[in-house]
Amino acid sequence: MKAKAKSAGAQPILAIDSEVVRQIRQHARSCNTTEVCGVLIGQDRDHRVEVAACIQGENAEGAGAHVTFTQDTWEHIYAVKDKRFPNERIVGWYHSHPGFGIFLSEHDTFIHKNFFSSPGQVAWVFDPHSDEEGCFGWTDGQIERLTRIAVVDRRGGERAEASVKDEPTVASTAEENAGPVPSSEPSPKPLRVQRLDVDDGDGGRSSLEQLVARVFFFLASAALGFVLCWQFFPHVVVMGVPIDPTTGQPLDPEMRQMLHDSQAGNAGNSEHPDLTKPGQPAAPDGRAKKGDDAKSR
């Protein structure tokens, strides 16, 4: 067993609380150009490192690719640890690599060898530019990148149970209460989810349809109103009339006549155009009559 553990389980398993991961990310993003650092708090048992909390390394000297735990940093870390985590251990450290990826530099390796040399101590690295993260630990006296990392969601205990409840309907691994329940429980659950989805979809679709319908209704009513106004209210119609440039009179004889009539009407009484009309339109006739008269004379 021991030999097997040495060969297969040489690399420690890391179980880190999701809240710690979140806090490290937050700390790293607070200084987007300089490295930040801190220590990891938890337990280390049988090749399993459990990280339950972290302490920010204040007064740490971060300069580009270097971060250094100063005397002040350690004093602050131990003060916080003694006060808040008296029964926990320092199981490693974390620092940020703003923009240069996940690895341990020579300086980082120096820090790890000198301050975190216990086999159960790890080095967590987070790049706030790429949101990449990784962890390094001791494997047979060498520092290697860990391949077995579990992010534990402690607050999500209920969520984990919920996911387990969902799983048995598909998976064959029946958990404690999966036996009697599945026939009644799984059917309403997906239905409820489906209903929610459908409701959401319908809501989104109907609101979009309503918007489109409103816009069309508005445009249609505006067009109808325009047509009605055009029909029932007086308006000026501008028409192109071909005009003889030499005389300034319309080329079309009918138009000339109409223009003539309207001018005559405007000049006289507009309400009784008939009274003035006889004089003008009768002109040709009058001339003819005159001619006749003259002839007769």
Task: Report the interface residues with Zn ion, using CB under 5 A.
Answer: 105, 108
Q: Nearest distance from residue 113's CB to Zn ion, in Å? A: 14
Q: Which is nearer to Zn ion, 60 or 178 (CB)?
A: 60
Q: Nearest distance from residue 146's CB to Zn ion, in Å? A: 16
Q: Which is nearer to Zn ion, 34 or 105 (CB)?
A: 105
The closest of 38, 29, 24 to 151, measured between CA atoms, is 24
Q: Nearest distance from residue 63's CB to Zn ion, in Å? A: 11
CA-CA-CA-CA torsion sign (19, 22, 28, 30): negative
| H/E run at residue 44 | strand 37-45
The closest of 153, 136, 149 to 102, measured between CA atoms, is 136
Q: Nearest distance from residue 132's CB to Zn ion, in Å? A: 13
Q: Which is nearer to Zn ion, 23 or 68 (CB)?
A: 68
Q: Which is nearer to Zn ion, 62 or 168 (CB)?
A: 62
Those residues whose C-beta lies under 8 Å from the C-beta of residue 251, and which sit 6 or more positions away, are 242, 243, 244
Task: Fill in the amino acid letter for 30.
Answer: S
Q: Which is nearer to Zn ion, 34 or 43 (CB)?
A: 34
H helices then E strands: how many in the chain?
9, 10
Those residues whose C-beta lies under 8 Å from the C-beta of residue 134, and which sit 6 or more positions away, are 102, 124, 125, 145, 146
Three-state DSSP state, 170: coil
Looking at beta carbons, which residue is closest to Zn ion?
Answer: 108
Q: Nearest distance from residue 68's CB to Zn ion, in Å? A: 11
Q: Nearest distance from residue 105's CB to Zn ion, in Å? A: 5
Q: How far is the C-alpha of 234 from the C-alpha of 264, rounded, in Å?
A: 22
What ranges make up the beta strands (E) of 46-165? 48-56, 61-63, 66-68, 89-96, 122-127, 132-139, 142-145, 149-152
Q: Which is nearer to Zn ion, 85 or 100 (CB)?
A: 100
